[in-house]
Amino acid sequence: MGYSLTPSLRAAVSVNTDFAEVEVDQRRVNLTRFPLRFPEQRDFFLEGSGVFSFAPRNGAQPYFSRNIGLVGGQPVPVNYGARLGGQSGRWELGFLQVGTGGVDPSGVTGFDGSPRENFTVARVRRSFLEQSTVGVIYPLRNTGEDGMGVAPADRTPSA
């Protein structure tokens, strides 16, 4: 569900998100020591994602949305997501908050043993001169306790 706060600033919320209708990735064979990078195909993460790009020419990527909803390569449920993005004057803004993982430790609602995780990404960028920008990006991956009551160390999305 999306809502336009201003003509150029849009907010969206998603609850119990199901990405079952997303296209399947192409099968590739990796003969290198580097992990493969598949492009994002989930609409919730694609809309307004340009604000989160950070120095695309040098390969630095502090935020990679494909890490959201995966633990050790296995899918985990996406419980909720909230997104804000667009322009406010000369500033380009982006904010994303997503919660994944186990829902109920009692097992009533399908707790799968995966820890709850909260992903937060905030980005502010401003254009100056003709082709220059300055900005800041803040990614955070906060991991809660797993089914055994153990909270692993927090980790930021891997690049």
- By the 10 Å C-beta count (0-12 exposed, 13-18 middle, 19+ buried), 38 is classed as exposed
Q: What is the pLDDT of residues 51-87, one digit of tens each?
A: 777 766 776 667 777 778 777 777 778 889 999 998 8
> CA 103, CA 120: separation in Å to the nearest integer?
19
- pLDDT, position 108: 43
Q: Residue 119 gets which letter from DSSP?
A: E
Considering only CA atoms, give the Rg of the chain: 17
Query: What tokens were used for 66?
Result: 């494909």
The phi and psi torsions of 138 (rounded to 5 degrees) equal -130, 100
Cβ atoms of 32 and 126 closer than 8 Å:
no
In tens, the pLDDT along 37-48 reads 777 777 777 787
Pairwise CA distance, residues 79 & 102, whole Å: 9
64: three-class secondary structure by DSSP: coil
Q: Burial code of 140-156, b = ≥16 C-beta within 10 A, e = fewer?
A: ebebeebeeeeeeeeee
pLDDT at 95 over 90: yes
Which of 143, 144, 103 has the alpha carbon at shortest distance from 17? 103
In angstroms, the Cα distances linking 102 to 35, 49, 78, 138 are 27, 26, 9, 25
Kindly report the pTM of this predicted structure: 0.70
The residue length of the chain stands at: 159
